[in-house]
Amino acid sequence: MSTMETALKEAMSIEGATGVALVDYSSGMALGTLGSSSDFDLNVAAAGNTDVVRAKMRTMEMLNLHNETIEDILITLTGQYHLIRPLTHRSGKGIFLYLVLDRSRANLAMARHVIRRVEENLEM
| 4-121 CATH fold | Beta-Lactamase (3.30.450)
Predicted local confidence at residue 51, as pLDDT:
94
Query: What is the rounded distance in angstroms from the CA atom of residue 96 to the CA atom of residue 92?
Result: 8
Report residue 32 CA to chain centroid gap. 12
Residue ranges covered by each domain of the chain: 4-121
| Predicted confidence (pLDDT) at residue 63 exceeds the cutoff of 80 | yes
Q: 97-121: per-residue pLDDT in tens?
A: 999 999 999 999 999 999 999 988 8
pLDDT digits over 66-87, tens only? 899 899 999 999 999 999 999 9
- Cα separation of 76 and 51, whole Å? 17
Give the closest residue to 106 by CA, choosing from 84, 74, 79. Answer: 79
Note if the pTM is more than 0.75: yes
Identify whether the C-beta of residue 31 lies closer than 8 Å to the C-beta of residue 24: yes
Spatial CB neighbours of 57, under 8 Å, sequence gap ≥ 6: 70
Write down the pLDDT at residue 122.
85
How large a percentage of the chain has pLDDT more than 70? 96
d(CA 59, CA 3): 32
pLDDT at 1: 58
Question: What pLDDT sits at residue 88?
Answer: 81
CB 50 within 8 A of CB 23: yes
